[in-house]
Amino acid sequence: MVQSLDMKNLVCLAVSALALLPSIARAQVAPPACPTATGAYYLKGVDWAPMEPTHSIGFKTTNVMGAAFSYGAAKARVKAQFRDAASPYQLDGSVLTMCLVGVTDSGRDVTVAKFQEEKTHRELSMASMRLWTGINAQIDPASLIVTSVEKKGDKVYLVTSKDPLPKGEFILFTIVPDVAAMTKSNTPQALGGYDFGSHAR
């Protein structure tokens, strides 16, 4: 009876291991070499798909009254707005794999952030303000995604997410945004990057 149970356990373990082999193999497959033409690309299946940049359509300030009536305890926020509820560039799964070819001089400034999704557009918190402490001009740290940036050649960078992405919409910046200048100017072309979504599971 003990031997029978042990055999059943071994069979179950073997079946489970075989079931996991395809996903393990996919995880270990290296992406193809980056394209040679200048541009940004994301991995769609086994091929690189080109991307076009997107730009903010303006900025809005939220919770101004709340900040005023709380005597500075609550924050007012400045959010950049981007058109459309979803990006046309949708990942096949929860892993980001992108190639940047000739669109940035350094991989050190590459930043990926998660949008707040609305019905008709997407938003990104760019600054917060308190009555007594002033403006904290930076992208909300809670929206930032940890990435790995590997230099593959002269101005060629492979960008991958270190952990599975949560479902949602995202944007990749190739430079650190000058948040203070952008929120002050309120110009539609002041903030640009490459947007993408991760909804498939």
> Who wins on pLDDT, 64 or 54?
54
Q: Which of 49-63, 160-174, 175-189 has the lowest mean pLDDT?
A: 175-189
Q: What's the pLDDT at 17?
A: 42
- The torsion of the CA quartet 100, 106, 160, 176, rounded to 10 degrees, works out to -100
> Who wins on pLDDT, 128 or 95?
95
Q: What's the pLDDT at 126?
A: 80
> What's the mean pLDDT in 85-91?
97
122, with CB counted inside 10 A (0-12, 13-18, 19+), is buried
Question: How far apart are the C-alpha atoms of 32 and 46, rounded to whole Å?
Answer: 7
> What's the mean pLDDT in 42-51?
96
Q: What's the pLDDT at 102?
A: 97
Contact between 114 and 193 under an 8 Å Cβ cutoff? The reply is: no
Place of tokens 């489970």: 16
Q: What's the pLDDT at 150?
A: 97
Q: What's the pLDDT at 178?
A: 63
- pLDDT over 50 at 5, yes or no: no
Strand ranges, E, within 134-187: 134-137, 144-145, 147-153, 156-161, 168-173
42, with CB counted inside 10 A (0-12, 13-18, 19+), is buried
87, with CB counted inside 10 A (0-12, 13-18, 19+), is buried
Tokens of 9: 């356990």
Taking CA atoms, 173 is separated from 1, 2, 81, 145, 147, in Å, by 62, 60, 15, 12, 12
pTM, full prediction? 0.75
Q: What's the pLDDT at 196?
A: 98
